[in-house]
Amino acid sequence: MSTVTSAEVQVCENFIDYHFKDPSLLQEALQPAGTPVRYSTRPYHDEGNKRLVDLGRKLHAFLTSKYFFESGGMMPDLDPQQFEGPAEELAAGDEYMEFIVEVQGDEISTGRTIIETQQAIFAAAWCDGGFDAYVKVFASTLQRAGEAEARKVS
């Protein structure tokens, strides 16, 4: 797969309601794991979004643990491996998730890949704008997911 285009970055920014100061972060987040990433402003690497997926997992675990600790609850175990079904099935009816499937192309096969890409997008927002950016993108994504789920039920 070729490098994610600036047009695809802009579409994703519209979906997540956040505009990156450094769009190459979002470009990397959308790049399938294990595929080359080329930038004009940063060094080339061939890991795709793996670095951001790893950071996104750690940020998500830390922030949700903090939330559940402060609220007195227990943190649920959210493992991307539980989303091993077809990506198209998980994405059905959600334009944003369908966009991720389209951008990832042949590299995406399971819902797990969608979840990992989402984790990479959260990490990219963190790197770009800190905690406030992370929260904005996370909240926007949760709202969109809730709306998509409501459409599936009705």
Per-residue pLDDT tens over the stretch 84-94: 555 566 666 67
pLDDT tens per residue across span 97-138: 777 777 776 666 666 777 888 889 999 999 999 989 998 998
pLDDT for position 1: 45
Mean pLDDT for the chain overall: 76
Scan for tokens 């190459």, then name that residue: 24
Half-sphere exposure (Cβ direction) of 151: Cα atoms closer than 13 Å = 11
Q: Specify which residues 37 forms β-bridges with.
A: 45
∠ CA 66-51-95, rounded to 5°: 80
Which positions ≥6 away from 120 have C-beta within 8 Å?
Answer: 28, 29, 30, 49, 52, 53, 55, 56
Q: Which residue, among 52, 10, 16, 15, has the nearest Cα to 33 in the 3D structure?
A: 52
Residue 4: band (very low, low, confident or very high) from pLDDT cuts 50, 70, 90: confident
Q: How many helices (H) and strands (E) does the chain have?
A: 6, 0
Structure tokens at 145: 């997911």
pTM: 0.76
Output the pLDDT for position 121.
Answer: 92
Higher confidence at residue 43 or residue 28?
28
